[in-house]
Homo-oligomer: A and B are copies of this chain.
Amino acid sequence: MMNTVKSEDPTVAEQAGRPRVRDRIFETACELFYRHGIRAVGVDAIACEAGTNKMSFYRSFASKDELVAEYLRFKDRNFWIWWDGIVAPHQGQPRAQAEALFEAHVNKTCSKESRGCGLANAAVEIVEDEHPGRAVVIAHKSEIRRRFRALAKAMQAREPEQLGDALMLLMEGGYLARLTFPKGGPVSSALHAARVLMDAHGA
């Protein structure tokens, strides 16, 4: 009754050795949400696609909105892991970091499976302020802005806030454009545009 070796504490169990049902559901939900949109995917569809049923779903998640919020937090975490991984090899060289970011961004966004940015898409779909996912989206985009501005400042660019915002607009625009254009869309020009902007700002 006291301490067994595994899975006694629910909070520990949630992040550790939890068998698989919850993980399968979550993984399936992430893919469906990203590919088809949040509102377009129902709880039944998620559970079914994950090889289980709705009841098991609600044994693992309090509500669909809560799952959506968790999906968005997952996307957020992954994004910054991606960002940090791109930036790391060029530590202390903000200009090179920005270029690497845009090169990776173009590659990622041009890939066949890309449906833009899941968090940006959620910004379109989730309008209600009370939705638990809305705060995640806002925090994510605010952090992007902050980092781009910090990057511009580190480059010692003239008008770093303007440059940072401009870089962010380029990236966000690429995500959006990917939804209507196939691989050869305007996103392809993002890296070039970013370079031109940074040059012009003396960075």
Contact for A170 among B145, B170, B181, B199, CB less than 8 A:
B170
A141: CB under 8 A from chain B? Answer: yes
Q: Are A179 and B40 interface neighbours, CB within 8 A?
A: no
With a cutoff of 8 Å between Cβ atoms, the chain B residues found around residue A185 in the complex are 145
In the assembled complex, which residues on chain B have CB atoms less than 8 Å from the CB atom of A39?
A: 37, 39-40, 125
A68 to chain B, nearest CB (A): 14
Asked if A11 lies at the interface with its beta carbon under 8 angstroms from chain B, I say no
* Complex Cα–Cα for A175 and B193 (A): 18
| Complex: A201 Cα to B179 Cα, angstroms | 27
CB of A19 to closest CB in B, whole Å: 32
Rounded to whole angstroms, the CA-CA distance of A123 and B61 in the bound complex is 29
Can you tell how many copies of this chain the complex includes? 2
**Size range of the interface on A?**
35 or more
Q: Are the CB atoms of A190 and B176 closer together than 8 Å?
A: no
Q: Is A166 an interface residue (CB 8 A)?
A: yes
A165 at the interface (CB under 8 A from B): yes
Is A177 located at the chain interface by the 8 A CB criterion?
A: yes
- Asked if A47 is at the interface (CB within 8 A of a chain B CB), the reply is no
Say yes or no: is A186 at the interface (Cβ < 8 Å to chain B): yes
Cα distance, A201 to B196, chains bound together (Å): 8
Chain B residues within 8 Å of A162, by CB: 189, 192-193
Contacts of A174 in B (CB 8 A): 169, 173
With known contacts A170-B173, A177-B168, A179-B124, A193–B186 Cβ distance under 8 A: no
Interface hub of A39, A124, A137 (most chain B Cβ within 10 A): A124
